[in-house]
Amino acid sequence: MTHLNELYLILNKSLKWNKSHLKCFALIMLVII
């Protein structure tokens, strides 16, 4: 799951301004895992 963690960190840095999008992405990650 390290790859997913890295992907999340990258998106977290690039989408800092869009918190709602990050929340949706986090929910998707939880569903996948």
Q: What is the pTM of this model?
A: 0.39
Mean pLDDT of 2-6: 79
Query: Which amino acid appears at position 13 of this protein?
Result: K
Q: Where are the alpha helices (DSSP H) in 1-33?
A: 2-14, 19-32
Portion of the chain with pLDDT greater than 70, in percent: 73
Residue 26's nearest CA partner among 5, 2, 3 is: 5
Query: What's the CA gap between 1 and 20, in Å, rounded?
Result: 23
Domain extent listing, the chain: 2-32
What pLDDT does 15 receive?
67
Q: How many CB atoms lie within 10 A of CB 15?
A: 13
